[in-house]
């Protein structure tokens, strides 16, 4: 094998690797890998990695060089022989580390240097190595499973030059590979856990806002609760609901906004750009996320309408309600800076739009049922009024009939009495006791009948007043409905 070349082809020589481990009497390769897999953080894995290479290769220093940029990196793990300069947490600027080396290391480049002065390196690279007392080194890439370069696993010999053996190189390569495999797994697990946590968080917020929306009883409250909760959860500058009246005219029917923004609720918006074809698309569930209104290929009139209300970015979802008809649009606004809307935000808001439509449909249905119930109650009350009126009318009729009967009797008695009085007046003789007795009887009967007349007249008036109260109440109910 040729030494000090920019690239080195490594043969898989398992027997030499085993000899190395037998000679070191420290670790078997299997034990090293099992130990790495037991670590739960990136720092723990990398620190174990340098410690294992340091112990097995018996070198002066092993470091992990984490790449920050194409010409700069940081030492984030180190195993060091006492007496040599520590490099942990050092920021190393290496202008000699050109972009082309990144590509080479991503492809698996390994560099073996037995003597830094005989390796044909640039003077600046030699100077950097001299600063940390390096005389020979072994450089192995640390690549993620997708082959992107994380950094370098570097083994240093500082006390003297060193001829690296193939088994040593193979060991460093395998340790680096297994370490990065574990780190890649941890990162993938962390990403999945983050996604899961975010999904659970969005789901919980959806359940909460759904509960709040369906808790209120009328359409205006549904709309206001929706915009308030959406702005709170999305942390945006303004949330509105745009109620559609016809193809190009709508009204802002609900709004939640920052105090520093001018309110736009109740504003009528005529938008000739809102063509009929968009209505069908939104009815079918169209969602639109605009991160930058000037880079979204919008029509000039649409951009002008958004500028009038200070919008720089917006997220638009439909609100469909009864029979799948489009009620309007639920819109989140960013007004002070542009915003890149995330897929989870868009999906969440779309579901909120669906729940808002369901809540509106429920509220409208409940209102219609309430009106129907009120109408039924009014009809029932009217029937009761008619029934009572009929009864009172009958009683009034009976009172009038009784009154007329008594009045007729009084009139008859009055005629008889008048006749008797006339006979007495025409006679020159004093009336007999019999005639006086008849007149007393007639007068008494008349008195009794007058009392009856007053009683029936009072009863008649009571029935009339009662019926009048019933009719007045019926009129009041009718006006209130």
Strand 288-290: give its sheet, edge to edge: 268-270, 249-257, 238-244, 326-334, 313-320, 288-290
Fold of 374-480: Methane Monooxygenase Hydroxylase; Chain G, domain 1 (1.20.58)
Q: Which of 73-87, 109-123, 273-287 bottoms out in mean pLDDT, i.e. has the lowest?
A: 273-287
Query: Is pLDDT of 4 > 50?
Result: no
Query: pLDDT, tens digit, for every residue of 142-156?
Result: 999 888 899 999 999
CA distance 65 to 142: 9
Average pLDDT, whole number, for the chain? 79
What is the predicted pLDDT for the residue at 41? Answer: 86
N-to-C CA span, the chain: 102
Pick the CATH number of 216-341 from 3.30.750.200, 1.25.40.10, 1.10.287.70, 3.30.450.40: 3.30.450.40
Fold of 14-189: Beta-Lactamase (3.30.450)
What secondary structure letter does DSSP report for 262? Answer: P
Q: Which of 111-120, 124-133, 235-244 bottoms out in mean pLDDT, i.e. has the lowest?
A: 124-133
Percentage of the chain modeled with pLDDT above 70: 65
3-state secondary structure of 160: coil
Query: Is pLDDT of 162 > 80?
Result: yes
DSSP conformation letters of 400-433: HHHHHHHHHHHHHHHHHHHHHHHHHHH-SSPPPH
Q: Grade residue 311 by pLDDT with cuts at 50, 70 and 90.
A: very high
What is the predicted pLDDT for the residue at 401? Answer: 66
* Residues sharing a CB contact under 8 Å with residue 62, sequence separation 6 or more, in sequence order: 50, 51, 53, 54, 78, 79, 153, 154, 155, 156
Burial tier of 77 (Cβ tally within 10 Å: 0-12, 13-18, 19+): buried
Query: pLDDT, tens digit, for every residue of 164-198?
Result: 999 999 999 999 998 898 899 888 888 888 888 88
What is the predicted pLDDT for the residue at 115? Answer: 94
* Residues sharing a CB contact under 8 Å with residue 214, sequence separation 6 or more, in sequence order: 355, 358, 359, 362
What is the predicted pLDDT for the residue at 211? Answer: 93
Q: Which of 24-38, 237-251, 389-403, 440-454 bottoms out in mean pLDDT, i.e. has the lowest?
A: 24-38
Q: Which of 119, 96, 46 is nearest to 76 (CA)?
A: 46
CA distance 254 to 243: 9
What is the predicted pLDDT for the residue at 143? Answer: 93
Query: Is pLDDT of 328 > 50?
Result: yes
Alpha-carbon distance values, 13 to 20, 348, 429 (Å)? 11, 55, 171
Do the Cβ atoms of 141 and 108 come closer than 8 Å? Answer: yes
Structure tokens at 293: 């209104």
CA distance 194 to 121: 44
Ordered by start, the domain boundaries in the chain are: 14-189, 216-341, 374-480
Q: Which of 58-67, 252-261, 440-449 bottoms out in mean pLDDT, i.e. has the lowest?
A: 440-449
Q: Is the pLDDT higher at 232 or at 457?
A: 232
Query: Is pLDDT of 253 > 60?
Result: yes
In this chain, the answer to whether the domains covering 14-189 and 216-341 adopt an identical fold is yes
Alpha-carbon distance values, 334 to 100, 238, 261, 288 (Å)? 42, 7, 11, 14
pTM for the whole structure: 0.59
């Amino acid at each position: 094998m040729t030494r000090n070349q920019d690239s080195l082809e490594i043969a898989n020589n398992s027997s030499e690797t085993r000899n190395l481990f037998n000679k070191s009497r420290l670790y078997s390769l299997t034990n090293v890998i099992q130990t790495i897999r037991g670590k739960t953080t990136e720092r723990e894995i990398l620190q174990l990695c340098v410690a294992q290479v340091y112990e097995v290769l018996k070198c002066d220093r092993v470091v992990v060089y984490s790449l920050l940029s194409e010409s700069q990196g940081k030492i984030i793990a180190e195993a060091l022989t006492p007496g040599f300069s520590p490099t942990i947490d050092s920021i190393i600027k290496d202008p000699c580390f050109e972009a082309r080396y990144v590509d080479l290391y991503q492809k698996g480049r390994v560099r073996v240097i037995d003597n830094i002065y005989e390796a044909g390196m640039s003077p600046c690279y030699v100077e950097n190595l001299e600063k940390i007392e390096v005389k020979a080194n072994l450089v192995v890439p640390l690549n993620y499973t997708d082959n992107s370069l994380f950094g370098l696993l570097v083994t240093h010999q500082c006390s003297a030059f060193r001829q690296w053996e193939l088994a040593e190189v193979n060991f460093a390569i395998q340790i680096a590979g297994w370490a990065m495999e574990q780190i890649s797994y941890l990162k993938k697990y962390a990403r999945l856990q983050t996604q899961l946590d975010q999904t659970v968080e969005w789901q919980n917020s959806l359940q909460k806002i759904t509960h709040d929306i369906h808790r209120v009883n009328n359409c205006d409250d549904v709309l206001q609760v929706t915009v308030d909760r959406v702005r709170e959860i999305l942390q945006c500058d303004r949330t509105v609901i745009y109620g559609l009246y016809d193809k190009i005219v709508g009204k802002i029917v609900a709004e939640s906004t920052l105090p520093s923004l001018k309110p736009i609720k109740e504003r009528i918006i005529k938008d000739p750009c809102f063509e009929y074809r968009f209505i069908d698309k939104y009815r079918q569930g169209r969602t639109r996320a605009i991160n930058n209104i000037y880079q979204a290929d919008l029509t000039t009139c649409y951009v002008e309408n958004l500028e009038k209300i200070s919008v720089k970015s917006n997220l638009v979802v439909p609100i469909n309600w009864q029979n799948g008809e489009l009620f309007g649009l639920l819109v989140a606004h960013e007004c002070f800076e542009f915003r890149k809307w995330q897929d989870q935000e868009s999906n969440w808001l779309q579901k909120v739009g669906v729940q808002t439509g369901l809540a509106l449909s429920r509220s409208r249905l409940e209102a219609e049922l309430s009106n129907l119930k009120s109408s039924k109650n009014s009809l029932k009350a009217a029937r009761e009024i008619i029934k009572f009126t009929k009864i009172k009318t009958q009683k009034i009729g009976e009172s009038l009939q009784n009154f007329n009967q008594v009045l007729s009797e009084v009139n008859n008695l009055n005629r008889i009495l008048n006749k008797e009085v006339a006979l007495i007046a025409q006679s020159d003789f004093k009336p007999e006791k019999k005639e006086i007795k008849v007149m007393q009887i007639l007068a008494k009967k008349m008195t009794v009948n007058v009392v009856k007349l007053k009683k029936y007249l009072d009863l008649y008036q009571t029935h009339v007043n009662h019926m009048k109260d019933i009719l007045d109440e019926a009129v009041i109910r009718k006006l209130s409905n």
